[in-house]
């Protein structure tokens, strides 16, 4: 099936549009696409009428021209017939926003819909979903525009069974300045499933990282997904719910999925080099890290800090996540010391972590990072920056990230995310260095590089 009409539509129909209720989901979708996106939008309702001065067509067959995408927000019992009309009228793809299908026991209704679409090679998302948000192209999320938080365009695609989780992750992406390529809510996934979307986005030039929130699979589907993710040339990140008995019950009632044997699925992900996130914190950290750098590591970490306490917390976090902080030999520690400014040489700790103290200046951080990068056992350096230290400047981010690019070794930074420190953070991010607002988040970013192993 050709999925381009889903994600790159030029003309869309919104079915279920109301002539009077501006807050109806169909009306919210119609309005935002009509006013903000480069698509032709048509409203459909058997009663006809007008909305915002635009004609509402009684039937999709009456819409002039070819429609790429139909967005259906009508009562569940009406959807199969609406879907049949779309197929007969030559619409190329669909999104079923409506709920009331397998998640509430109406499996036959959902099955009819899927069988019809399969026979006609008609791709559709849902039912019981939000659909798609593709920056600059289309937005089928029925969230009022004034309440949406939209990340900047970027290279991470999010695919989620849960619309709520999808929107939460979009908010976190915006907060952490992670760029989004496409966000996809798949709901009950009656037809289009994770496997279909993994194959599509593995070839999408705007996507460099593919992230999934998964509640469950059909029988034997999990194994096929893992094998396809292994073959994917891009990092694949998975957050799985339904790990506990209670979680499995919640998954079944939400999207009628089989949660399956979590332990076996998790082991298969690790065995095949698929990055598993344990929770939302890990998911966000992994997405930011892998969107900026995809160079795999075995786990040798160097740490440079302006505070001994920060360094100790980072070492503990590395131990927690299975990363190593190699001991630096005494002679090399002395070499590091000799490369520091005179005011710091006598008070710095030059093991690993390298603690430059509150007296460190830009050149001390650059010199220490350069020295650690020269060690074979150090595959990645985490620099813990306290931007309120008097000796460092807002240029330090660009200096360190440029060094990382020159030496082709990954660098990760911790900087508190406060508006006052934006210039320092931007210096890192503009040169492809991920920045975390927490020490543990920075260590998680390094963990993503270790879990992202090509096989």
Q: Are residues 341 and 299 in the same domain?
A: yes
Given 246, 274, 292, the domain boundary residue is 292
398-443 tens-digit pLDDT: 999 999 999 999 999 999 988 889 999 999 999 999 999 999 999 9
| C-beta neighbour count of 440 within 10 angstroms | 19
pLDDT of residue 60: 96
Q: How far apart are CA 129 and CA 201, in angstroms?
A: 19
Q: Which residues pair with 302 in a beta bridge?
A: 381
pLDDT: is 53 or 315 the higher one?
A: 315
Q: Are residues 66 and 178 in the same domain?
A: no
Q: Are residues 244 and 205 in the same domain?
A: yes
pLDDT of residue 453: 73
93-131 tens-digit pLDDT: 999 999 999 999 999 999 999 999 999 999 999 999 999
Residue 138 in any domain: the answer is no
Given 96, 128, 160, the domain boundary residue is 128
pLDDT of residue 248: 53
Residue 341 in any domain: the answer is yes
The closest of 184, 193, 151 to 165, measured between CA atoms, is 184
pLDDT of residue 250: 54
Q: Are residues 286 and 422 in the same domain?
A: no
Q: Are residues 123 and 57 in the same domain?
A: yes
What percent of the chain has a predicted confidence (pLDDT) above 70? Answer: 96
CATH number reported for the structural domain that contains residue 361 in this entry = 3.40.50.261
Total structural domains within the chain: 3
pLDDT of residue 455: 53
Asked whether the beta carbons of 435 and 413 are under 8 A apart, the reply is yes
What are the two backbone dihedrals, phi and then psi, of residue 217, each rounded to the nearest 5 degrees?
Answer: -125, 165
Q: Are residues 315 and 403 in the same domain?
A: yes
Decide if pLDDT at 254 tops 90: no
Given 292, 319, 335, the domain boundary residue is 292
Q: Are residues 37 and 84 in the same domain?
A: yes
pLDDT of residue 131: 96
Identify the band that residue 145 occupies on the pLDDT scale cut at 50, 70 and 90.
Answer: confident
Q: How many helices (H) and strands (E) does the chain have?
A: 17, 19
**From 246-255, 280-289, 388-397, 428-437, the region with the lowest mean pLDDT:** 246-255
Decide if pLDDT at 249 tops 60: no
The overall average pLDDT reported for the chain is 93
Residue 136 in any domain: the answer is no
Q: Are residues 41 and 91 in the same domain?
A: yes
Q: Are residues 249 and 343 in the same domain?
A: no
pLDDT of residue 333: 97
Structure tokens at 160: 């989620």
256-310 tens-digit pLDDT: 555 568 888 999 999 998 999 999 999 999 999 999 998 899 999 999 999 999 9
Q: Are residues 285 and 307 in the same domain?
A: no
Q: How far apart are CA 413 and CA 428, in angstroms?
A: 8
Burial environment of residue 51 by CB neighbours within 10 A (0 to 12, 13 to 18, 19 or more):
buried
| Domain region containing 7 | 1-128
């Amino acid at each position: 099936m050709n999925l381009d009409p889903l994600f790159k539509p030029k003309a869309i129909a919104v079915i279920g549009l109301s002539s009077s209720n501006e807050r109806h989901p169909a009306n919210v979708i119609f309005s935002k696409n009509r006013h903000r996106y480069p698509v032709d939008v048509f409203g459909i309702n058997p009663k006809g009428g007008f909305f915002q001065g635009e004609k509402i067509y009684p039937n999709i067959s009456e819409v002039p021209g070819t429609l790429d995408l139909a967005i259906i927000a009508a009562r569940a019992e009406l959807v199969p017939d609406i879907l049949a009309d779309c197929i007969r009228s030559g619409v190329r793809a669909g999104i079923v926003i409506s709920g009331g299908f397998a998640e509430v026991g109406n499996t036959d209704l959902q099955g009819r819909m899927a069988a019809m679409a399969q026979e006609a090679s008609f791709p559709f998302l849902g039912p019981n979903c939000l659909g798609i948000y593709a920056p600059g192209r289309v937005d089928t999320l029925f969230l009022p525009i004034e309440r949406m938080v939209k990340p900047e365009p970027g290279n991470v695609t999010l695919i989620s069974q849960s619309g709520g989780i999808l929107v939460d992750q979009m908010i976190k992406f915006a907060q952490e300045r992670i760029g989004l390529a496409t966000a996809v809510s798949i709901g009950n996934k009656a037809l289009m499933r994770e496997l279909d979307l993994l194959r599509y986005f593995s070839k999408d030039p705007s996507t460099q990282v593919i992230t999934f929130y998964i509640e469950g699979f059909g029988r034997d589907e999990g194994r096929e997904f893992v094998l396809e993710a292994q073959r994917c040339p891009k990092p694949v990140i998975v957050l799985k719910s339904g790990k506990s008995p209670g979680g499995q019950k919640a998954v079944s009632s939400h999207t009628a999925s089989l949660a399956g044997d979590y332990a076996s699925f998790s082991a298969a992900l690790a065995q095949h080099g698929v990055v598993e996130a344990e929770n939302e914190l890990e998911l966000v950290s992994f997405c930011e890290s892998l969107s900026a750098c995809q160079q795999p590591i075995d786990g040798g970490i160097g740490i440079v800090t302006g505070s001994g306490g920060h360094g100790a917390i980072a070492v503990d976090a590395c131990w927690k996540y299975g990363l190593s902080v190699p001991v630096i030999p005494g002679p090399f520690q002395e070499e590091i010391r000799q490369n520091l400014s005179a005011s710091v040489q006598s008070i710095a700790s030059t093991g690993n972590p390298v603690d430059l103290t509150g007296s460190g200046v830009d050149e001390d951080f650059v010199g220490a990072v350069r020295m650690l990068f020269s060690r074979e056992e150090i595959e990645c350096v985490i620099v813990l920056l306290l931007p309120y230290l008097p000796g460092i400047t807002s240029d330090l981010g660009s200096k360190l990230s440029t060094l990382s690019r020159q030496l082709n070794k990954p660098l990760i930074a911790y900087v508190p995310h406060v508006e006052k420190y934006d210039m320092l953070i931007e210096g890192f991010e503009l040169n492809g260095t991920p920045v975390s607002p927490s020490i543990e988040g920075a260590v998680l970013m390094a963990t993503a590089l270790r879990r992202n192993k090509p096989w």
